[in-house]
Chains A and B, each alone.
Chain A
Amino acid sequence: MVGDQRPLPEKGTPWIMKARDNPFRSERLEGLAFREPGFSWEELEARLTAAGGRGAIVGPEGHGKTTLLFEWRDRWEAAGWKTVFVRAGRGQRRLCEAQKRGLADAEAVFADSAEQLGWGGWREFLALTRSTKRVIITTHRPGRLATLHLCRTSPILLRELVNELHGPVNDCNALWKRHQGNLRNALRELYDKARQCP
């Protein structure tokens, strides 16, 4: 799918684009499929099995960890697994009671931003999921569980995503460097450019 082909405007141009028409709105970013050169679900599943059914997707912010986690969850749900998704918000040292209750019956737990949990919160999470068949987390750094996949980005990947959302944009290399590989922030910059569309 190639999106809106309008050229991005120069900074300072009066805006008329509404949020719902912006090709870089969050709804569309959430719709982008995970992709990475050489990525293979079979290899990822094999690494998970080898790690005893629990492991981590690792990478800095805006590198596709959550997208991969959601897609993995969807695959297992489609296969009939009872899954639970939890996310530790920024600065959330422990899961809240509602999140903890949800873990009890799950066959597979997908925990996003597990690095946010403090030492006590992490130990508690491990205790609550002791008998869970599959536990997959995302973290910024390796260490909490065996690393199953290290998410990487590149200017080529950014260009591919931008093409899908909007059409060609010239400065993807500089954009990628400016945001140190954080694709979410790079695409948010393009959101701001697009809303100034004349």
Chain B
Amino acid sequence: MNATITLSKTEFAPGETIDGNISWHGFQDVGTAEVRLFWQTQGKGSRDVGVVAVETLDLPGPAEQRSFSFIAPSAPPSFSGQLISLIWGVELVLEPGGSASQDIVIAPRGKEIPLDHPEWLEISDPFPKKGRLGS
């Protein structure tokens, strides 16, 4: 049994299209098959998870190869610091049976925001014309 996700690339700016292919073989009696775009936090504390988009595949068979696409949302952006990272991913979930996932980056310029570099504020401000605190 094998399930795979293949993406055209792994770094995306908000609004870009995330497209790729999924395939699986050797799974008997697949009831549902979904491709999900999600984010999760990783680090020292408990984890948060958000599923942002789901594509449900009709009539999944024991072996398939299909394409999918999502639009990269504007928030939350991929970032990483000492205590917490926010990681986007695409996952294929077959019920019952198996799953596969692939980490991706969704952030301005397609680059993960490093929290130890304060200049990230300049490139990731979602409201540049409205000003920040107190302005």
Task: List residues of chain A with CB under 8 Å of any chain B CB.
Answer: 15, 17-20, 22, 24-27, 30, 188, 191-192, 195
Q: Residues of A contacting B114 with CB < 8 Å? A: 18
- Number of A-B pairs, beta carbon distance below 8 Å: 42
* A15 near B46: Cβ-Cβ < 8 Å: no
Whether the pair B82, A20 counts as a contact (CB closer than 8 A) is no
Report the interface size for chain B: residues with CB under 8 A from the other chain. Answer: 15
What are the residues of chain A within 8 A of B47 when measuring CB–CB?
Answer: 26-27, 30
Q: What is the bound-complex CA distance between A24 and B82, given in angstroms?
A: 12
- Asked whether, in the complex, the Cβ of A19 is within 8 Å of the Cβ of B46, the reply is no
Residues in A whose Cβ lies below 8 Å from that of B44: 19, 22, 24-26, 188, 191-192
Q: In the complex, given contacts A19-B42, A26-B46, what are 11 additional A-B residue pairs having Cβ atoms less than 8 angstroms apart?
A: A17-B82, A19-B44, A19-B80, A19-B83, A20-B85, A25-B43, A25-B44, A26-B44, A27-B40, A27-B47, A195-B82
Q: In the assembly, what is the distance between CA of A30 and CA of B114, in Å? A: 25
Instruction: Pick the residue among B45, B46, B87 that contacts A20 (CB under 8 A).
Output: B87
| Cross-chain contact of A18 among B40, B45, B46, B81 (Cβ < 8 A) | B81
19 A-B residue pairs with CB within 8 Å: A15-B82, A17-B82, A18-B81, A18-B82, A19-B42, A19-B43, A19-B82, A19-B85, A25-B42, A25-B43, A26-B42, A26-B43, A26-B44, A26-B46, A27-B42, A30-B47, A188-B44, A192-B44, A195-B83
The docked-state distance in angstroms from the alpha carbon of A25 to that of B81 is 12
Q: Which of A19, A188, A192 contacts B84 (CB 8 A)?
A: A19
A19 to B84, CA, bound (A): 5
Residue-wise, chain B 13-25 has the 8 Å CB interface mask toward A (1 for contact) of 0000000000000
Residues on B with C-beta less than 8 A from A25 are 42-44
- Distance in angstroms between the alpha carbons of A18 and B85 in the assembled complex: 7
| A-B pairs, 7 with minimum CB distance | A19-B43, A20-B85, A18-B80, A19-B85, A195-B82, A20-B42, A25-B42
A11 CA to B61 CA, complexed, in Å: 54
